[in-house]
Amino acid sequence: PLAVHRVLHEKSPLKLEHFQRWFKIFSQTIDKLFVGKTADVAKLRAKMIAHSLNQNLNPEN
């Protein structure tokens, strides 16, 4: 996934705001459709992925 995001980032830079927006939409969708531990784990993993992608693409942040 990082390689795909890196190519996209080179064409149109992905900023922290993009990852924050993606996570917000993802979390809201999970909250509307699911409840419980699995939903919480999905949101935690998504947050970690967004953070990791941002750190790799924007190390200055």
Burial 1-14 (b: 16+ CB within 10 A, else e): eeeeeeeebeeeeb
* Integer Cα distance of 38 and 54 in angstroms: 24
pLDDT at 61: 78
Give one DSSP letter per residue of 10-52, joined into a string: HHS---HHHHHHHHHHHHHHHHHH--SHHHHHHHHHHHHHHHH
E strands in 1-61: none
pLDDT at 46 over 90: yes
pLDDT at 39 over 90: yes
Q: What is the pTM of this model?
A: 0.90
